[in-house]
């Protein structure tokens, strides 16, 4: 469970994790964008236009008026989400022109000096600095924040996931500079026992996440046993404590209400199994995550939860539990698992930054949605978050592409908000670019593109999509896939600008040759099947007001081939009509004439 960063900690742990700020977009995807977001996106898209440049190369907004603090937080959030934070752009947050309170600088590519100049003079109550470039260490962040007396006592939430701890391996006590800290997340860091001892002395610490760190012994937590209420420590691979000693320490954290000891490495640890057998341990617990622990059973889980009636969440993904009605997730007890849709969605909400669990949840989601008949935007949104968080993980992208296909096929796309469809198609195109040799992934993406709604109404990079479909058309012998590719490229071709079409001239030369090859093959076999008709329609669409493509048609001896088609299928009036129309168009377009006709598509080749 990520650290809660809302400026104040709730009475108990949240029923679902508070996602990082960069993910809090599109809460109402079917609604128009807010005016604030529209204006901020215009500003961000052309930031240099609204700024002057300082001698050191950093930017400064031209206007002297101050932005409201909430708008300033949102501006930084958008820039972080779009990965636009660098030494130059963060300059706009220097000085007093902009005031920040909740700062998100995830994946910022800035120096320690730029960090201090841009952010350490603000009155921050929370900072999410996860995943910043390795030149900025945790020591840099903490010392920079500690230079501000106000921040020392008032910063409540700090996220330092996936950073380098110190510039060398030498141990430094630094967290004591932030005595006001109440919530700290420091996952995926070489953070050891001596660092834990430092953190445990923070006088107000209530929430701690030390997952996937180098901690070998958690006994230091006893120093904050009267304060700690939320403890997340999944995948502690270096843990060397005996199970009994580990549980003894946990049991003495008497105010603990949330505990996460899940294991996405499926290491076979007995800690979760033994914890469930303890009757009197952690009586105030309301949230327990033991996902990934294979030895867990429904009987043990039910007995544990019934002894703690205030529990409202149990994590069971990747366990042998979650199959009874009591832990179905249908009632007041929320459950993350893979048995039903509610469990799967809970898993995707909670584990979206953990690729092993994301892949497992996507696998279960794929099985659940194979026969989906109802449009569910809320599910597609969770798939998008998982894809965006793990762009280089093939297993995540492959399972996600299969889920997207299930969620948008057979007319389901018609009920999806355009905003979601645009996001997911862009992510699919990115996945195809990242994994060009993964045939099943490429096939799933092509099938998702074949939706009429997506091709006609959804904004996405049609130039990139057209290049991809051309490659598929030229390298695919499967007639079903070939037919779909033919229809998709015939519509995509019409949506390209003249400049884009010119850039794809070489690709379209290949496409026309491939289409005529299909026509020739079908003609020689006297086979008037769906592929033949779709190919004719594709040529009709592509040659409309396209002199270059008409030239390609002639260069590939399309005129001779179509005369042969007229002869062989002389009794079929529909074929005669299309072929004659194409011949007339090709000749007239070569002379610079031609009148634009409506594109033709067929529901058999494209789904709604």
End-of-domain residue from the set 139, 154, 179:
179
For residue 531, name the pLDDT band (cuts at 50, 70, 90): confident
- At residue 594, the pLDDT reads 42
β-bridge pairing 59-61 and 51-53: antiparallel
- At residue 28, the pLDDT reads 57
Please, which residues have CB within 8 angstroms of residue 491's CB and are 6 or more apart in sequence?
Answer: 455, 456, 541, 599, 601, 606
- The reply to whether 439 and 476 lie within a common domain is no
Highest mean pLDDT among 263-267, 511-515, 583-587: 511-515
Q: Looking at the predicted structure, is the pLDDT value of residue 240 above 80?
A: yes
Number of domains in the chain: 3
If one counts every other C-beta atom within 10 angstroms of the C-beta of residue 353, the result is 21
Is 559 domain-assigned?
yes
- The reply to whether 509 and 522 lie within a common domain is yes
CA–CA–CA angle 244, 267, 163 (5° rounding): 95
The domain containing residue 576 runs over which residues? 464-588
Q: Looking at the predicted structure, is the pLDDT value of residue 104 above 80?
A: yes
- At residue 543, the pLDDT reads 79
Please, which residues have CB within 8 angstroms of residue 311's CB and are 6 or more apart in sequence?
Answer: 285, 286, 287, 288, 305, 333
- Tell me the whole-structure pTM to 2 decimals: 0.85
- The reply to whether 359 and 412 lie within a common domain is yes
| Helix or strand (DSSP H, E) at 606 | none
In tens, the pLDDT along 172-223 reads: 678 999 999 999 999 999 999 999 999 999 999 999 999 999 999 999 999 9
Lowest-pLDDT choice from 43-57, 129-143, 476-490:
476-490
- The reply to whether 456 and 568 lie within a common domain is no
- At residue 26, the pLDDT reads 42
- The reply to whether 74 and 173 lie within a common domain is yes
- The more confidently predicted of residues 27 and 417 is 417
End-of-domain residue from the set 441, 460, 479:
460
Residue 133 structure tokens: 């470039």
Distances (CA, A) of 255 to 125, 165, 284, 314, 581: 24, 29, 7, 18, 80
End-of-domain residue from the set 137, 158, 179:
179
Q: Looking at the predicted structure, is the pLDDT value of residue 24 above 80?
A: no
In tens, the pLDDT along 323-338 reads: 999 999 988 999 999 9
- The reply to whether 363 and 444 lie within a common domain is yes
- The reply to whether 448 and 478 lie within a common domain is no
If one counts every other C-beta atom within 10 angstroms of the C-beta of residue 213, the result is 24
């Amino acid at each position: 469970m990520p650290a809660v960063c809302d400026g104040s900690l709730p009475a108990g742990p949240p029923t679902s994790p508070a996602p990082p700020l960069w993910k809090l977009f599109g809460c109402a995807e079917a609604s128009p964008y807010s005016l604030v977001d529209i204006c901020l996106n215009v500003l961000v898209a052309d930031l240099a236009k609204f700024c002057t440049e300082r001698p050191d190369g950093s930017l400064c907004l031209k206007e002297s008026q101050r932005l409201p603090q909430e708008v300033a937080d949102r501006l930084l959030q958008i820039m972080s989400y779009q990965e636009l934070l660098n030494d130059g752009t963060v300059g706009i947050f220097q000085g007093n022109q902009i005031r920040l309170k909740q700062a998100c600088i995830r994946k910022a590519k800035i120096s320690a000096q730029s960090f201090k100049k841009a952010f350490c003079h603000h009155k921050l109550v929370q900072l999410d600095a996860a995943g910043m470039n390795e030149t900025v260490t945790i020591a840099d962040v903490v010392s920079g924040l500690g230079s501000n007396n106000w921040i020392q006592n008032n910063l409540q939430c700090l996220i330092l996931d996936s950073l380098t701890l110190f510039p060398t391996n030498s141990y430094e006590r630094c967290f004591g500079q932030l005595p006001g800290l109440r919530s700290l997340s420091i996952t995926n860091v070489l953070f050891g026992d001596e660092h834990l001892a430092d953190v445990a002395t923070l006088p107000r610490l209530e929430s701690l996440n030390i997952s996937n760190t180098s901690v070998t012994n958690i006994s230091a937590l006893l120093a904050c046993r009267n304060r700690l209420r939320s403890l997340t420590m999944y995948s502690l691979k270096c843990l060397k404590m005996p199970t009994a000693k580990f549980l003894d320490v946990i049991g003495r954290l008497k105010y603990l209400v949330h505990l996460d000891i899940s294991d996405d490495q499926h290491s076979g640890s007995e800690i979760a199994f033994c914890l469930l057998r303890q009757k009197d341990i952690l009586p105030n617990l309301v949230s327990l995550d033991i996902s990934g622990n294979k030895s867990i059973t429904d009987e043990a889980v039910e007995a544990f939860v019934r002894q703690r009636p205030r529990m409202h969440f149990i994590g069971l993904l990747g366990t042998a539990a979650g199959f009874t009605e009591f832990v179905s997730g249908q009632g007041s007890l929320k459950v993350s698992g893979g048995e039903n849709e509610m469990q799967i969605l809970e898993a995707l909400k909670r584990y979206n930054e953990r690729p092993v669990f994301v892949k497992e949840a996507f696998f279960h989601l794929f099985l659940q949605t194979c026969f989906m008949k109802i449009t569910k935007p809320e599910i597609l949104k969770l798939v998008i978050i998982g894809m965006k968080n793990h762009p280089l993980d093939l297993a995540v992208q492959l399972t996600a592409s299969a889920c997207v296909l299930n969620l948008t096929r057979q007319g389901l796309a018609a009920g999806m908000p355009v905003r979601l469809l645009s996001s997911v198609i862009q992510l699919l195109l990115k996945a195809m670019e990242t994994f060009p040799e993964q045939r099943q992934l490429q096939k799933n993406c092509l099938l998702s593109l074949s939706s009429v709604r997506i091709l006609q109404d959804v904004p996405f990079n049609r130039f990139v999509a057209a290049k991809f479909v051309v490659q598929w058309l030229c390298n695919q012998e499967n007639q079903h896939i070939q037919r779909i590719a033919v229809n998709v490229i015939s519509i995509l071709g019409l949506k390209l600008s003249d400049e884009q079409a010119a850039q794809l001239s070489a690709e379209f030369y290949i496409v026309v040759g491939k289409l005529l090859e299909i026509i020739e093959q079908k003609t020689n076999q006297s086979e008037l099947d769906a592929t033949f008709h779709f190919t004719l329609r594709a040529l009709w669409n592509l040659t409309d007001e396209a002199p270059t493509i008409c030239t390609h048609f002639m260069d590939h001896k399309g005129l001779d081939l179509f005369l042969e088609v007229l002869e062989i299928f002389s009794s079929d009036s529909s074929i005669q009509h299309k072929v004659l129309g194409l011949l007339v168009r090709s000749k007239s377009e070569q002379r610079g004439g031609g009148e634009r006709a409506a594109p033709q598509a067929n529901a058999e080749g494209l789904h709604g």
